[in-house]
Amino acid sequence: MTGSDPPSDRIVAVPCEGDDVLALFALADGEPLGEVPVGSHPVHAATAGGQTFVATMGERAVTAVGADGAVSRVETGVLGPSHFATANGELFVSCTAGDALAVVNPETLTLVTRIGVGAEPHEVAVAPDEGRLYSGSRREGAVDVVDPAAHERLGAVDVGGDACVQGVAIGPDGKRGYAIDQAGARVVAFDPDGVDETDGESAPSDDPIINAAAVGADPYDLVVAEDRVFVPGRRDGVVHEFDRDLGLAAVHEGFARPVDLFRIDGEWWVLDADADRLRSLSGAIVETPAPGLVATRVGDRLVVSHYDDDRISLVDVADGTVWTAETPAYPFGSVVI
Amino acid sequence: MAPDSTPGDGTVGDAGSDGTESDPAPASTRRGLLRAAAGATVAGAASAAGCLGVTTPADVAAQNDVGGNVAHFVGPSWLADNRDDVVVLDARDPERFREERIYGARRVPFDAITSRESTDSGLVPDAEAIADAFGEVGVLPDDDVLVYGASVGSRVTRTAFALGALGHAGSIRALNGGLSGWNGRLGTGDRDRITPVEYEPDPAESAWVTRDWLAERLGTFNGDGPGLVDVRIPEAYLGAPGSDALDPDNDRHGHLPGAVGVHWVGNVAGRRMTEPGRLVGLYENRAELDRAGTVVVYGDDNVDPTSTWLTLRAIGFEDVRVYDGGFGEWANVEGDRGRYPVETKTSVVVETEGSVGGDDGSGDFSCTG
């Protein structure tokens, strides 16, 4: 089944940062289904163990919504839970105001432990075999390498002393890792297996670095496919396209504030935070009700969060906007359940 | 010698040769001297001389007196009235102590009273070493003690805390205004001969907390659990990259999760404690601490936070404790750092205005006594 033919009972759950709620909509037609009060500043949602988890950056806790509607609070102990990753049935939460990943058991809704990593961890990537987890540090210019099963930090990749690591990704084959240095407007490729397991508490090493390349100003995230790496440069309105070892393939221009890319029907579509449209790298355009900051792919469609306009939309690149709906303030990273 | 007729030169010659006043100025001068002399023996008496722009020892004493419902801090007049009943401890460095001190004061080695011992739960005050230091200067557990320094800085409060940590049964007081507020008898030179005693401590473990005590309560501070105050400068609290305020010996920077930052110098105004009403506003209204609950204070080491420890107790907080290991221990813990995380982002920094006066000259601002 594809997203263009969704079951009528699927739900879009959107954390709304400005109103501290998780807003619910019917995927089929955008009908509002209610709001779940959550903690302060919810930004991302994820599902695990039959629960819906909401990262509430203004708390030292995440919110869990159970299948029975029960709303629980799972303490992380550290401020700023922002991103989720799952490995080995556990939920890993980056606590971006501190220097830890919180490990949550989604079944028991308990904090299993915390793993010390570089300060201000942000995005977390997991190797395809779930044997390693990679956490980017905005403060320390490093990507921490973690054994998710043992809950141990193995070492870290040194991206550069002044680097501010935002996006982190692992290629589909697990052979390349990538990190975005927002401060230096760079993308760095590294060997995911290049951190010696005996490094333990040692300082980050640049030995695993394979290559680095300049990208457009103010990069934040990246998209990695089998043979391509895309990096939107938000302030320059460009998207850099590289091969897997960061050989430059193309620089796509003409965007306002590109933030993300999605491959649909063989075409790469760019989400633009300052333009009311999706534009493909080949120049096709789909109008949207408002600029989109974040989108969630569901089949061949996108649920687009119009952060500054308090709306979400379901957008089909072939048919245009399917529906749009008003939301509480500042809708952000949704999940479709 | 100037001739008797020389007018207004400020010498004793201003008075007429027959002893009568030649003009009003010498009379006011004499009155000022007499008032000052009177004030020197009636500490705390308000002096009209102050209104004329002249500061007398009586004025200084009065400025440093402590009124209202404030514990632990007393002014020079209190000491003048109780001098024979208290052991006076000088918290300054040895050079200052030899140069000038309150007569009969004893000096306890500062390094000794900051000593710590390692336990499985983290660093704690080394009660035996601290007790030995007080015993060396003849302090017994039931002695009433007054501590002074150049001001009311953290050397003074650490000395008070060290006694508190031993479970000292006698009273513990600090001299508001420090040595400069004292207008009584002074001593100088090497310390007086004192017969050492055996100080048997009864450690008051409720005066401090350990690293593990804190780790077990992460996520509750300044919420459902205890209050937690970081007393360091805001740049250190926030771990501001590149700031000179960051301790280069620390592996990590920032603060304990959930701590509110209130720089300790806000407790002090020059050589005196900050006016109590302002302190209540600072800690209860702005930092939103609960005076009936437990409040833990910490700094980089175990000296500065004792200023906030004593200040909070002085204004009525019931259960104040020091994290003796400090951020230095927390930030450099080896092994499981996920159990001891730090935060670098928060908006809970309470701005303070204080300054620490004094002439300790030790070169360590944070330890000005």
**pLDDT tens-place string over residues B311-339:** 999 999 999 999 999 999 999 999 899 99
Mean pLDDT of the region B216-222: 95
Kindly tell me if the per-residue pLDDT of B48 is higher than 90.
no
Superfamily of chain region A117-224: YVTN repeat-like/Quinoprotein amine dehydrogenase (2.130.10.10)
Question: What is the 8-class DSSP label of residue B191?
Answer: P
pLDDT at residue A206, rounded to an integer: 87
Considering only the beta carbons, identify the residue of A61, A114, A201 that sits closest to B341: A114
Report the candidate in A71, A96, A41, A83 with the shortest Cα–Cα distance to residue A335: A83
Claim to verify: residue B215 and residue B125 sit in the same structural domain: no
Question: pLDDT grade, residue A48 (50/70/90)?
Answer: very high
Tell whether B33 is covered by a domain: no
- B208 close to B167: Cβ distance less than 8 angstroms: no
For the four alpha carbons of B15, B18, B20 and B22, in that order, the dihedral sign comes to: negative
pLDDT at residue A105, rounded to an integer: 97
Instruction: Tell me the chain B residues in contact with residue A61 when contact means C-beta distances shorter than 8 Å.
Output: 219
Kindly give, in sequence order, each residue whose CB lies less than 8 Å from that of residue A26, ignoring residues fewer than 6 positions away: A8, A9, A10, A11, A12, A33
CA distance B298 to B257: 12
Kindly tell me if the per-residue pLDDT of A246 is higher than 50.
yes
Alpha helices in B210-345 (DSSP H): 211-215, 234-238, 276-280, 305-314, 326-331
Compute the nearest-CA separation of A87 from chain B (Å).
18
Kindly tell me if the per-residue pLDDT of B301 is higher than 70.
yes
A82–chain B Cβ distance below 8 A for any pair: no
Claim to verify: residue B295 and residue B337 sit in the same structural domain: yes
- What φ, ψ does residue B12 adopt, rounded to 5°? -60, -20
Tell whether B194 is covered by a domain: yes
Other CB atoms within a 10 A radius of the CB of residue A144 amount to 27
Tell whether B210 is covered by a domain: yes
Can you give the residue range of the structural domain that contains B217? 206-356
Kindly tell me if the per-residue pLDDT of B53 is higher than 70.
no
A245–chain B Cβ distance below 8 A for any pair: no
Claim to verify: residue B172 and residue B238 sit in the same structural domain: no
Tell whether B175 is covered by a domain: yes
- B25 close to B33: Cβ distance less than 8 angstroms: no
Structure confidence by residue, pLDDT tens digits, B34-43: 444 444 333 3
Domain end: B203, B222, B244, which one? B203
Mean pLDDT of the region B185-212: 91
**B98: CATH:** 3.40.250.10
Q: Which residue of B has its CA nearest to A152?
A: B336
Claim to verify: residue B215 and residue B192 sit in the same structural domain: no
CA distance A149 to B313: 47
Cβ within 8 Å, pair B219-A61: yes
User: 3-state SS string over A45-104?
Assistant: EEEECCEEEEEECCCCEEEEECCCCCEEEEECCCCCEEEEEEECCEEEEEECCECEEEEE
Structure confidence by residue, pLDDT tens digits, A122-145: 999 999 999 999 999 999 999 999
Answer left, alpha or beta for residue A254, where phi above 0 means left and psi between -120 and 50 means alpha.
left
Segment among A27-31, B126-130, B188-192 with least mean pLDDT: B188-192
The complex scores an ipTM of: 0.85
Tell whether B13 is covered by a domain: no
Radius of gyration for the alpha carbons in chain A, expressed in angstroms and rounded: 19
- B125 close to B324: Cβ distance less than 8 angstroms: yes
pLDDT at residue B65, rounded to an integer: 76
Question: pLDDT grade, residue A201 (50/70/90)?
Answer: low
Cβ within 8 Å, pair A116-B336: yes
Mean pLDDT of the region A48-69: 94
Kindly tell me if the per-residue pLDDT of A31 is higher than 90.
yes
For the four alpha carbons of B324, B326, B331 and B336, in that order, the dihedral sign comes to: positive
Number of domains in chain B: 2
Report the candidate in B288, B290, B308 with the shortest Cα–Cα distance to residue B298: B308
Tell whether B151 is covered by a domain: yes
- A95 close to A58: Cβ distance less than 8 angstroms: no
- A273 close to A266: Cβ distance less than 8 angstroms: no
- What φ, ψ does residue B25 adopt, rounded to 5°? -60, -45
- A286 close to A317: Cβ distance less than 8 angstroms: yes
Q: Which two tokens stand for residue A133?
A: 């987890």
Mean pLDDT of the region B261-288: 94
pLDDT at residue A146, rounded to an integer: 97
Tell whether B136 is covered by a domain: yes
CB burial of residue A207 (10 Å; 0-12, 13-18, 19+)? middle
Domain end: B186, B203, B220, which one? B203
Segment among A300-314, B13-27, B151-165 with least mean pLDDT: B13-27
Segment among A28-37, A56-65, A191-200, B116-125 with least mean pLDDT: A191-200
Considering only the beta carbons, identify the residue of B253, B334, B338 that sits closest to A113: B338
Question: pLDDT grade, residue B33 (50/70/90)?
Answer: very low
- What φ, ψ does residue B66 adopt, rounded to 5°? -115, 120
Q: In sequence order, what DSSP letters do the residues of A165-202 get, joined into one string?
A: EEEEEE-TTSS-EEEEETTTTEEEEE-TT-S-TT-TTP
Domain end: B142, B173, B203, which one? B203
Compute the nearest-CA separation of B310 from chain A (Å).
29
Cβ within 8 Å, pair B341-A201: no
Of chain B residues 192-221, which have a CB less than 8 A from chain A?
218-219
Q: Which residue of A has its CA nearest to B257?
A: A78
Tell whether B28 is covered by a domain: no
Question: pLDDT grade, residue A3 (50/70/90)?
Answer: very low
Kindly tell me if the per-residue pLDDT of A333 is higher than 50.
yes
Claim to verify: residue B156 and residue B83 sit in the same structural domain: yes
Mean pLDDT of the region A88-114: 97
Alpha helices in B241-369 (DSSP H): 276-280, 305-314, 326-331
Structure confidence by residue, pLDDT tens digits, B174-190: 999 999 989 889 999 87
Structure confidence by residue, pLDDT tens digits, B129-183: 999 999 999 999 999 999 999 999 999 999 999 999 999 999 999 999 999 989 8
CA distance A55 to B103: 63
Kindly tell me if the per-residue pLDDT of B362 is higher than 60.
no
Claim to verify: residue B244 and residue B176 sit in the same structural domain: no
Kindly tell me if the per-residue pLDDT of B300 is higher than 90.
yes
Q: In what order do the strands lie in the sheet with A121-126?
A: A121-126, A133-137, A142-147, A152-158
Cβ within 8 Å, pair A98-B341: yes
Segment among A109-123, A315-329, B34-48 with least mean pLDDT: B34-48
Percent share of chain A, pLDDT over 70 = 96
pLDDT at residue A7, rounded to an integer: 59
For chains A and B, what is the number of CB pairs under 8 angstroms? 73
Claim to verify: residue B78 and residue B198 sit in the same structural domain: yes
Claim to verify: residue B259 and residue B342 sit in the same structural domain: yes
pTM beyond cutoff 0.90: no
The upper half-sphere exposure of residue B24, i.e. CA atoms within 13 Å in the direction of its Cβ, equals: 0
